[in-house]
Amino acid sequence: MIRLLAIDIDGTLLDSQGRVPDAHRDALTEVVRRGIRVALVTGRSFHFTRQVSGALPFPLTCIVNNGAVIKDPAGTTVVRNVLARDAALDILEHTTAYDDCVGLVFDRPPGPDEHRQIICDRMDWSHPDRSGYYARNRAFITTVSPLSHALTDDPIQVMFNGSVEHMRG
């Protein structure tokens, strides 16, 4: 007996415009009606996933940040695996050549710091490789300089976003 359906968001649940097609929503609604729980699984943050889950008329579990965070249907964190603050500081210290393409990703609860989920120092968000990500996550991105000052708590990840050539440099 199937008890859980875990479904990827990008390229699976969402169409090319980033919307949940009616046929997908209806199929998942039928799955839930049959007593099967649904989980959204994505590399994206919970805050982005919340926009998608809001388009579905039933409660679901969210497995986000590449599995580092699991939220129950009420949005309560069930599992949270973070990167130690000291490890993140060490990474930043040893990757200064990539300061223009590094960011910190957090899982902060609703409240005054909710907009500070993704923090960078001087990322060029107009770059074609980044502009779509920025457009989707703009409400949760802020800047802090130097970036190490943003490490007031443990992040989910240190994110590097750049071209392959730049990363190999």
Token pair of 51 as six digits: 């926009």
With cut-offs at 50, 70 and 90, classify the pLDDT of residue 109: confident
Q: What is the pLDDT of residues 32-53, one digit of tens each?
A: 999 999 999 999 888 878 888 9
Q: Is 111 left (phi over 0), alpha (psi -120 to 50) or beta?
A: left
Average pLDDT score over the chain? 89
With cut-offs at 50, 70 and 90, classify the pLDDT of residue 169: low
Name the residue with higher pLDDT: 164 or 143. Answer: 143
Please state the separation of Cα 39 from the chain's center in Å.
15
With cut-offs at 50, 70 and 90, classify the pLDDT of residue 127: confident
pTM above 0.85, yes or no: no
